[in-house]
Chain A
Amino acid sequence: MADGDSASHAAFQAASEVTAERLLDSPAHEQARVLRTGAVSARALAEAALARVRAQEPALHAYITLTPDEALAQADAADAQLRRGDATPLTGIPIAVKDLLSTRDVETTAGSAMLRGFRPIVDCTVVARLRAAGAVMVGKANLDEFAMGSSTEYSAYGPTHNPWDLGRVPGGSSGGSAATVAAGGVPLALGTDTGGSIRQPAALCGILGLKPTYGRVSRFGVVAFASSLEQVGPFGRDAEDVALLLAAIAGHDPLDATTAPLPVPDYVAELGRGVEGLRIGVPRELLGEGIEPGVREAVEGALAEFARLGAHLDRDVSLPSVGASLPVYYLIAPSEASANLARYDGVKYGFSAHDGPGMWDDMEQTRARGFGDEVKRRIMIGTYALSTGYYDAYYLKAQKVRTLIRREFEQALATHDLLLTPTTPGVAFKLGEKLGDPLAMYLSDLFTLPVNIAGLPAASIPCGFAEGLPVGLQLIGRAFEEGTILRAAHAYAGVTDWHLRRPSALAAGGVRA
């Protein structure tokens, strides 16, 4: 302090800490604005985020690894960046990163015992981009093992709890990322989405989550599960925050040959354009049977709201083959997984059993003990589908039906700007409820799987509550038109307040037993 008065210095410190704690409840774009005024430092904001996350962890378990030392060093660098006046919209913003994303020298487990203690030698591209933007990583978020699951219960490090009801799942596989954003620990998080792993937890936790178009975001350094389906994407509490984070991670990457060499639009600039005149299709197959009444009611309410905003709704849309999505997905994804996960042989890195009589026994024991049940189940399905005599009937057949589904989406989106569906058939289910029944677990992704099959962008946005639990709706766009989805989400949030609701027990950092 200029006057050197230690009492007023302490008072200023106390006041600024209160402000940082309160600022944590604001969206990231508001946090960035305040950071630029200098009223709160990135360091104070990082300390507030870490304190809140730590207070919530016993109840939530949203993280596998907290990275306080890294976070504070990044916050100090962010403060220097802010002082120099070359801050980006993410400078000093606390963020959680799904533990499927490689972080240099920071343990990256993929939620698996197989990778306990594994420290990558490089950052994945999206984390490198966040570092360059000055974001502050507070920790590595919990997930289903190797991103295979819909509840985060398949994590080898224990389940994450839903902040709206601690007896329920947050969804998955990016459940930790969704739960910590919903609980107010951080305003932004990264997840990955192979069949719904961003959108389904976003819906179950009452926040926004977006899966970009296949090829929009680099997968370099992301622990591989199903390479033709997965994308990294953002979680946030409003459309502007999701737009900012997407803009920071999107774009061509020479290290990932599947990224599109296309320019990244200014998503934030597009937000205010409204939905008047937009043609929104409602595929009848995805608003049919098997949807909980409360979910249907919330989605119907949202449709009425979009109509009031001037969008043209069309309920006469059909995707005749979309009913095949579950078998198509659960053949293609496990087939790709069985190939990708062949690398875990206990030789180069990761868990290694070496007490058997020979090499093959060691390898079988490495994989027997290193992988959890769901991962083994999927490797087995994929190995079977690719094996001699079954390839044509299963894998190739699934790839052909994939073409049908993809064509039907292309057709529907030729005459509509967006398609709207519920994100999930039901609200967050109870911990343990679907653990004994893999097929029931798979069915919770029924509406999100087709989008990965078609490679399209889609987001889940909060649209109401049923039984006191959040409901999400899914907006699906044309390839590389994430901006239209975000624009619709922004317009909808302008006339509703679902995205502002917070789980009261945890929002203030309190812990409920």
Chain B
Amino acid sequence: MALSHAEVRHIARLARIGLSDAEAERLREQLSTILEHFQLLNAYDTDGVPPTAQTFDLTNVERADEARPAAGAERVLANAPRREGDFLRVRAVLE
């Protein structure tokens, strides 16, 4: 299950991770080895077997829709890389 260089670049783009050419090549080799190992799953017959997404069968946990006190903008913005007044500063989204 060898990945191509283009496939690695495609996945990296989906994941929004910048990669150097050397990193992309190293990941291509490592991911190919790991994906090869995953082929082992094909030996297991799962016809008619439902998937498990969680192991404890809780469903529809709800809480009352009530306003509660929040931390406040100042505390939240204290961790922001860039701010302008009470706003997060971001790069232009529309170019």
Contacts and interface: CB of A to CB of B under 8 A. Distances in A.
Contacts of A401: 41, 44, 46, 49
A403 B49 contact: yes
Interface string B34-45: 110110111110
B3 to A, nearest CB: 8
A383 B51 contact: no
A174 interface: no
A362 B89 CA distance: 13
Given A368-B18, A403-B50, A258 B58 contact: yes
A403 B42 CA distance: 15
B83 to A, nearest CB: 10
Interface in A358-379: 358-365, 367-368, 371, 376-377, 379
Looking at chain B, what size class is its interface with the partner chain?
Answer: 35 or more
Interface stretch (A11-19, A300-308, A322-330, A423-431): A322-330
Interface in A192-235: 213-215, 228
Nearest to B33: A439
Nearest to B46: A400
A118 interface: yes
B31 A381 contact: yes
B67 interface: no
Listed residue (B14, B71, B91) with the most chain A CB atoms within 10 angstroms of its CB? B91
Contact of B27 (A214, A363, A377, A394): A377
A71 B35 CA distance: 46
Nearest to A216: B56
B6 interface: no
Contacts of B8: 380
23 contacts: A121-B71, A121-B75, A121-B78, A122-B71, A213-B56, A214-B54, A228-B53, A258-B58, A324-B41, A327-B37, A328-B41, A331-B38, A331-B41, A348-B88, A350-B79, A354-B81, A361-B18, A376-B17, A376-B19, A377-B31, A380-B27, A384-B11, A406-B55
**Majority-rule SS of A interface residues:** helix
Contact of B31 (A257, A328, A380): A380
B12 interface: yes
B44 to A, nearest CB: 5
B82 A383 contact: no
Interface in A333-375: 338, 345-352, 354, 358-365, 367-368, 371
A273 interface: no
Contacts of A121: 71, 75-76, 78-79
Contacts of B88: 347-348
Contacts of A363: 16
Interface string A381-425: 101100100000010111111111010000000000000000000
Contact of A380 (B17, B56, B71, B95): B17
Given A258-B56, A376-B27, A438-B30, A118 B79 contact: yes
Given A326-B37, A377-B31, A400 B49 contact: yes
Interface string A482-501: 00000000000000000000
Nearest to B50: A403
Contact of A367 (B16, B42, B95): B16
A371 B34 contact: no
A368 B41 contact: no
Interface in B41-95: 41-44, 46, 49-56, 58, 61, 63, 71, 75-76, 78-82, 88, 90-93, 95
Nearest to B12: A380
Contact of A455 (B56, B61, B75, B80): B56
A277 interface: no
Nearest to A396: B51
Given A348-B79, A348-B80, A479-B56, A321 B91 contact: no
Given A367-B16, A380-B17, A359 B54 contact: no
A228 B14 contact: no
A397 B52 CA distance: 10
Contacts of B31: 377, 380-381, 384
A254 interface: yes
Contact of A399 (B19, B53, B91): B53
B17 A330 contact: no
